[in-house]
Amino acid sequence: MFLRGRSDNPDIRTTPGAGLPLWTYSWTYNGGSYNGQMVGAVPSTGTSTTVPVRAVQR
């Protein structure tokens, strides 16, 4: 489970509106159509994506 909350510590505040870079894809299988999303750059671009994370221990 992921939590997003307020903090008085400026080092762990999240930036409002700062989203993860996403790409969408779709495929068909056995007559059904499916969609999905992945975090990062589209693989065909050959670029990488770094998603900064900060672990907070309770």
pLDDT digits (tens, 9 = 90+) for 10-41: 554 555 546 778 889 999 999 999 999 988 88
φ and ψ at 24, to 5 degrees?
-110, 155
Residue 48 token pair:
């990488």
Contacts of 2 (CB under 8 A, 6+ apart): none
Q: Is 12 helix (H, G, I), strand (E, B) or coil?
A: coil
Per-residue model confidence (pLDDT) at position 9:
53
**Paired tokens of 11:** 């080092």
The pLDDT confidence band at residue 51, using thresholds 50, 70 and 90, is confident
Residue 48 has pLDDT above 50, yes or no: yes
* pLDDT band (50, 70, 90) for residue 1: very low
